[in-house]
Structure 1
Amino acid sequence: MTLLVLSETSAGYAVFKAKDKKLLARDDLVEEASTAEGICSLLKLKKFHKFDSAAVALNEAAAVGEAKVSPLLASILDEYKDEKKGSLAVTDPKLGNAITKLPGLTLQPISDSTTNDLYRAIREHLPSLLPDLLKDDDLKTTSLGLSHSLSRHKLKFSPDKVDTMIIQAIGLLDDLDKELNMNAMRAKEWYGWHFPEMAKIINDNVAYSKIILHVGMRSNCASTDLSDILPEEIETAVKAAAEVSMGTEMTEEDLEIIQRLAGEVVGLTEHRQELSMYLNSRMQAIAPNLTALVGELVGARLIAKSGSLMSLSKSPASTIQVLGAEKALFRALKTKHDTPKYGLIYHASLIGQATGKNKGKIARMLAAKAALGIRVDSLSEWGANAEVGAPEPTEEEKSAMGVSSRNYIERRLRALENRPIRTGAAAIGNANLEPVTQSKWEIKEARKYNKDADGLAGNEEAKITTSKKPSSSSAAESSSAAKSKAKAKIEEIPETVAGASPDEDVDSDVEMGGTAKKDSDVDEDGLSKSERKALKRAKKEEKKAKKAAKAAKKAAKAAEEQVEELPKESKKKRKLDGEADGEKKKKKKKRSEE
């Protein structure tokens, strides 16, 4: 029974033949193979196939590492098909299983602990086994080059598409936001003991920190020019407040510590802007289609959550939709409640433009399109994966699929919402962005809550009305007035339509389409929401009046019945009293007779 040993080296494949057929069964194999003379006495080189280039060596090493039989290895083993009742020692059991599937090969692969000892000795004394083919220096050079190439292959290194940079950048961006908020809050609270009025005038953290650096003590505020930081009216308000400030005094040492903290706030803000630009450019290079659909921040969070772009591309659309809401999902499955409709994808601009009833539909559509875009980004053939000599596509060609999918979702959302939708809301970055300099802080008017708008549908204007319950007598009058008002509105429509030309009618429909759709609370009869409420209120009062009338009739009828029953009861009572008196008289007579 012939024993062959297959050994893969950095220079090529070597096939050895054991001089002893029972080599693997020997107890002294380790001692005998510990020296170069011993291993040479046990094995004899039968054939050595040298690799033609470093690329071939890399492909063969990668195939062996993945337990696959390459065409080159299959051609080498074809020469030993005539060997019957022979065995072949291999390094990996999985590679042995792959070799057994080769057609026409009768060699039985062997891979166990004894073969591991044999291969350890072969690697140690390989130059001695191949004296005429390999030198010690050549073997070291080829091994070093192959190890570097194999490491790059396993890491799938690509300087243009490295999703690890995205994961680290979005993590650092979140950390910077937390640190910025904490330091800015500390600086406001600390400096507020000295100048408390400034916090009410300036609500921007960067502008507040810059004033601390420029002004220092509040007594220097009047002589300091703040026109580069604040607008004129805010600068005047700050200087006026500094003159009448109620804050406490502090020393120069205290001010120095506060100014250091303010400087950190300004520096971290600038660093965050640079990091945001870097993340924007990297997302545009790595995942242009995903960036076009959901934006760079949401896309980066999805990649960081899944671990890599490749693992995210293997996820179905349903997983991408709820990615980031795992706790809510498993809690809903455990308690048998409704599962969440969205996770991290909720922060995408398209879902933000949808109303509550349509958010789930848009999230499902966006997740489906994002799954396709992610697979295009991860499995595309551009960049480092492109073939040699192939033309590099432009940025528009790379993100064409994502842009077209976004346009489709916007059209669908416009149809569902029945209103115009803001287009191009996703922040699609450009790799050639220039650093953005901080502009002067401006006043932004805050939106105030309107209490009078509660309970209104659509964009109806709020009206301040005093709600008074109508009496039962005026219920019919209010209902008739509302109906007559609605009838008048209905009669006015044909007059305006009849007096307008066809062209003006079309133009007015196009221009005022948003207004017509805006008043969606007007029903077919021309009644507005307030008028419908008045009708309902009047109907309720009518029902209450009818119920009260019925109750009064019942009470009167019951009183009449009681009056009629009184004489009957008195007659019965007199009759009973008379019968009782007669019985008493009879008893007296009987007693007197006795």
Structure 2
Amino acid sequence: MLVLFETPAGFALFKVLDEGKVSKVEDLWQEFSSAESAKKVVKLKAFSKFENTAEALSAATCLIESKPYKGLRKFLRAHCDGESLAVADSKLGNAIKEKLQIDCVHNNAVMELMRGVRSQLTELISGLAVQDLAPMSLGLSHSLSRYKLKFSADKVDTMIIQAIGLLDDLDKELNTYAMRVREWYGWHFPELAKIIQDNILYAKTVKLMGNRTNASKLDFSGILPEEVEAELKAASEISMGTEVSDLDLLNIRELCDQVLSLSEYRGQLYDYLKSRMNTIAPNLTALVGELVGARLIAHGGSLINLAKQPGSTVQILGAEKALFRALKTKHATPKYGLIYHASLIGQAAPKLKGKISRSLAAKTALAIRYDALGDTEDNSMGLENRAKLEARLRNLEGRELGHSAGSAKGKPKIEVYDKDRKKGAGALITAAKTYNPSADSTLGQTLNNAAGNGEEAEKKKRKTESVPSQMEEVTEEPPTAEGKKEKKKKKKKADEEETAVLVGGNGSAEADGDAPAKKDKKKKKKKEAAEDAGLQSDGNAGEEETKKKKKRKHAEQDEEDSEQPSKKKEKKKKKRSED
């Protein structure tokens, strides 16, 4: 068996002299305790030296990727003749077996053997001293680090952080300069600010026009639509602005040049940022867009730092001030930070923004980790997650429409409590309800029946106590209102009876004539008392029955009112005849 060992100076191939000792893994370290004992186990068969640092660097990069270097393949073909090869990397062994058809071995015994060879390397390889090996390893490590940095230049996210910072600064400067142009030129042509809203078009128009008197002679078709151009020319003829000198217009035009140049550079910077984001974080860009993704990376410090954050942190990243204020004052915490400006959250309704921001933050955290730590550079994962989020948004919007439309799914089913409902398997089976004849009320009820009705009313009250409070309010309110009206009616009747007694108190004839009237009144009182008792017992019977009773009472009152004036007239006639 042969052993392949990599050194900073080149590849070494050792021959195993005693394979029986190699099989004893636990005692193998004792064989490499000294140089003499190590030479009894392995012996150097061949050595392939690197010619320069570039060759060593290329060989090291191939080994890191588990690929056999071109010089290594030639070396193994020349010295491996039908023997097995012990390697430290199983992936490298598989690659060698596929390309060179050499059987490779990788196990615990091989790793222990590699450790022993490394400890006695300078003794096993003649001509390789310790003082030569240390600078070689140091130089190779430096070269490999520089190569890695140079190789992964596309993955450096510091360029994104600087670009998004510069883009934000340019936006601020552009707004400042554009407002200065509007304010400065507004003294000469104030109506132009209302006609043209866009800052870039405003600067282009001012640069082309100069003095407002030139507006009628110039053609603005390359800058403005026809309607806006006609409105501008009409306003220039009746403008109320002051006159300015040519020197002032020259400085205003130079400021317009600055605005236009900054706007053009901003467009170039945005294109650069877009290309860098699609290279470094394609899945993040597919989910939240270039600007939001770049701001998240800049706020996190780097793509790796952002990949270490959970989805809940990504959701409120940028709203730290509001978060700590809410925690301090014990109010509701913010639902979103920088992620609020993503297009998916902008599409959602105000009620659904919190749910969508939470889902989007979770998917964004996965996309960031995939971009930072994954090997592939496509945006398939981001596009797939975006499609899922859009489907979820449509689903949530459909639910909200169902609630607002009052569909069967949207309306909650309210079940009234029923003490007769059975528990267990037959929970939906309720007790059979019997007809209650005491709920019916008639005008001919007597006082004796009123007592029986009172007992039934108490039973009904006990039953209605188990009904929810809403049902109690509906059933209890009408009897209270009717009771007040009945008391007022009784007072009116009592007053009328007193007046009648005072009028008829002078003669016996009047007493004889009033006797049947008094009897009629007593009967009516008894009827009213019976009705009152029936009303109290049947107060909870229903709204329809109470309405019928009201109509009956009103009819009786009308009859009494019609009878009373006729009786008074009869009494007056009797008095006149007696006189």
TM-score (norm 2): 0.50
Where is the helix percentage greater, Structure 1 or Structure 2?
2
Name the larger-Rg structure: 2
TM-score (norm 1): 0.49
